[in-house]
Amino acid sequence: MVTSNLAFKEKNSIEPEVVVNESPVKWCAVALSDVVARGKRLEAKAFDVEAKQVREKISTGKYKAISLFGEGGLIETAYYPGWMQRSRLKRVYCEKQYGEGFYLPSQMTDIYPVPEKYISKLADCSKDELRLKKGSLLLTRSGTIGSVSYVSETLNGRIFSDDVIRITFNKEYDLGYVYTFLKSKTGNLILRTNGYGSVITHIEPSHLAEIQIPDAPITIREQIHDLIAHSYTLRDESNRMIDRATQLLIENLHLPPVYELEKNPSTVGAHNVKLSDLAGRLDASYHVPIVDAIIEHLKRYAEEVTTVGDPRISREVILPGRFKRVYVNEGYGRVLIGGKQLSELDPSSKKYLSTAKHDKMLKKLEVHEGTTLITRSGTIGKIAIVPKHWEHYIPSDHIIRVIPANKDIAGYLNIFLASDYGKVLITRFTYGSVVDEIDDNHVRQIAIPLLKNHTVQKKINDLALEANEKRYQAYLLEQEALQIMDRDVIYAKK
């Protein structure tokens, strides 16, 4: 019988043992002068611990530290167009056929950037000032700061935004050396933070004078530079192979520029559609005449026009489901990449998914060499073929995977989908009022031409796969340079 509503603890009950896994405490000493200089702020976030520690590591390392820019520094010039005038350059954009490709800072780290905008010949600015010069180092100066790139043949002469700082060096070998230092975790952290360790939102050329870099022996600098130079040479070669493969495709199918296939373009953009051709879609973007023009042209010159869903083309088209992600630190999970990173050799801003929480799911989501990836939301139709070093990476659920039927079609499929004509055929399926989307069913319906000349089709396929292999070799060379930087320079024992 219960005589009271009070609860009593049993004397013999087992108390659960609480285990607290302590994480290492991050701390650092801050001079009073630094506190005053930071506006007498006492909160820890104003003094990033890791940034201060790496700066101290550079100043007390095996090799003495020297300023990157200024008297005795490694940099000869550092500027961006309009820097001295302190004004942004005026831009006039136009259609592709009337202008020249204009590249944005976000494209600076792409293996083979494709212009999203075109600057008119009537633009009131000096295009020569905006053109990149081979043998320069590039830094983003606003927005996402701290991105670094190396100007090789691929970027030489391209018109880039004035949001990119152009840097030249007194000695050629310092180009690859400084590039590698700023790409390393230590160097990039220093680049993105000021002397107090707090993140900066804007970089000026004058800020480079505040960055200290180890004054390593010339032999080490030359070794690192040669690795980076060779890495970018391989990237250039891979890009030329992609160009050659695309040109073979265009020549064999007698494809004119995309804009020439438009039928009676008008400012209103009105056109008739038969009821039998609606396919359940009432949105005008699905029925643009250029799509029909491309497909009709392909049927005229190809042996056959099939679709991505054809078993001869793809073994599987996968749209991954959404799931709650558990992120962990590097070394404790699998690499997750997003759509914005598909164009990069080594995806930046990597995130890591917990293998403990997602182990079974990750095995289903991982990708393998030769798979074609297509962005399905936001920016529709970005294409990439998975290189060897992306093996077992996990693309986000915003990326559709097309697993090729075999190696004899993997490269050809990628070349066509990445072409101007492939992009039109992909984006015609776009739906959504706020965020653009496509799904796996749409991808299966994308038209793919099979060439009459099987030898040429094989050549296109082989060029694409060889280009992918060269990019893998380029990745290995850059990783070797980064390892030498960490082992023999930044963390070298005295």
Given this model, what pLDDT does residue 202 score?
Answer: 80
pLDDT band at 16 (very low <50, low <70, confident <90, very high): very low
Label residues 395-425 b or e (16+ Cβ within 10 Å = b). bbbbbbbbbbeeeebbbbbbbbbbbbbbbbb
Chain segment 130-147, per-residue pLDDT in tens: 899 999 999 998 877 888
Q: What does the alpha-carbon distance between residue 431 and residue 423 come to, in Å, rounded to a whole number? A: 15
Q: What does the alpha-carbon distance between residue 373 and residue 324 come to, in Å, rounded to a whole number? A: 22
**Mean pLDDT computed over 343-350:** 84
State yes or no: pLDDT of 271 exceeds 70.
no
Chain segment 198-223, per-residue pLDDT in tens: 666 788 888 888 889 999 999 999 99
Given this model, what pLDDT does residue 179 score?
Answer: 97
Helix 185-192 × helix 49-59 angle, to 10°: 110
Q: What does the alpha-carbon distance between residue 111 and residue 380 come to, in Å, rounded to a whole number? A: 19
3-state secondary structure of 50: helix
Chain segment 31-90, per-residue pLDDT in tens: 787 777 666 666 665 566 777 788 888 888 899 999 999 888 999 999 988 765 555 667
pLDDT band at 376 (very low <50, low <70, confident <90, very high): very high
Q: Within 13 Å, how many C-alpha atoms sit on residue 137's CB side? A: 32
Tokens of 470: 């060269």
Q: Where are the domains of the chain?
A: 32-213, 246-266+284-455
Q: Which residue has the higher pLDDT, 425 or 161?
A: 425
Are 32-213 and 246-266+284-455 the same fold in CATH? yes
CA-to-CA dists, residue 347 to 340, 359, 389, 395, 404, angstroms: 9, 22, 11, 11, 23
**Topology (CATH) of 246-266+284-455:** Adenine-n6-DNA-methyltransferase TaqI; Chain A, domain 2 (3.90.220)
State yes or no: pLDDT of 456 exceeds 80.
yes
Angle at alpha carbon of residue 16, lines to 15 and 19, rounded to 5°: 135
Give the CATH superfamily of 32-213: DNA methylase specificity domains (3.90.220.20)
Q: Which residue has the higher pLDDT, 230 or 365?
A: 230
